[in-house]
Amino acid sequence: MEMIEHAIRENSLVGAFAFVGLIMWISVHLSRKLTFGRVHGSAIAIVIGLALAYWGGIQTGGSKGLADLKLFAGIGLMGGAMMRDFAIVATAFEVQVDEAKKAGLVGVMALLLGTIIPFIVGASVAWSMGYTDAVAMTTIGAGAVTYIVGPVTGAAIGASSDLMALAIATGLIKAIMVMVFTPVAARFMGLDNPRSAMVFGGLAGTVSGVSAGLAATDRRLVPYGALVATFHTGLGCLMGPSVLFLATKAIVG
């Protein structure tokens, strides 16, 4: 047993390939046997991944879920930002250029709305729960945009570290909700063509939420959503500490 553990630790990325392959295999079977294909195998796999991340976080007290366990360090590399972005870029190979061009303008509009709506919701909730100063409202509002925009904005306007932690938690919950509930709400949102995927990518925000949510809904829609969603964090980091902070300050003083 120790020898196997040693082998996996020495070859962590290879271990991750095998482990994720196993999760996928289990998920596809659960999807077929338990739900008769109604729930997508990848949706089940993502939920299993999140559950394992919770378990890993409890076990180690770390911040990287399952990847904090030495045996599963390869998961950190395989699912890290580098590999994630590399795989997302690769999906662009399947994009039908005309489809993407047709929805360009509506994608930009969705991107703007996707920054402003979550911000207003987050800032309003913060205000109603007693965080009435502009810095706190802006930081939490920015956290509701994405979990990267929150701390970046907070750092720029001088928020305390508890506020930033709160903003990160807000963004994380949002990302997890998008991952889990996108396939459930796909029909309601009309998510069945490239244009709608681009609208979704702009409004749902967070590359991780959008990419996992679309993967669990229809793999072919991924590149269209991701193409728009990758501008989300940049736009949020641009607007958060500037326009949105100033607007909040003008309103609450």
Using CB under 8 A as the binding rule, the residues of this chain from 127 to 166 that contact another protein are 129, 131, 140-141, 143-144, 148, 152, 155-156, 165-166
Report if residue 238 touches another protein, rule: CB under 8 A: yes
In angstroms, what is the minimal distance from the CB of 199 to another protein?
5
Q: Is 131 helix (H, G, I), strand (E, B) or coil?
A: coil
Site track for another protein across 191-220, x = CB under 8 A: x-xxxx--xx--xxx-xx--xx--x---xx
| Alpha-carbon gap, residue 142 to 85, rounded angstroms | 23
Tell me which of 12, 15, 53, 183 binds another protein, using CB under 8 A: 53
211 vs 248 by CB, closer to another protein: 211
CB-count exposure of residue 39 (10 Å: 0-12, 13-18, 19+) = middle
Q: Which of residues 55-114 bind another protein (CB under 8 A)?
A: 56-58, 63-67, 72, 75-76, 78-80, 83-97, 99-100, 106, 110, 113-114
125 vs 247 by CB, closer to another protein: 125
The answer to whether 152 and 240 have CB atoms below 8 angstroms apart is yes
In angstroms, what is the minimal distance from the CB of 246 to another protein?
15
Report if residue 178 touches another protein, rule: CB under 8 A: yes
| Alpha-carbon gap, residue 253 to 249, rounded angstroms | 5
Contacts 24+ apart (CB under 8 A), 79-87: 79/16, 84/207, 84/208, 84/211
- Total number of residues that touch another protein (CB under 8 A): 118
Amino acid at 204: A
List the end-to-end C-alpha distance of the chain, in Å, as a whole number: 63
Q: What's the residue count for the chain?
A: 253
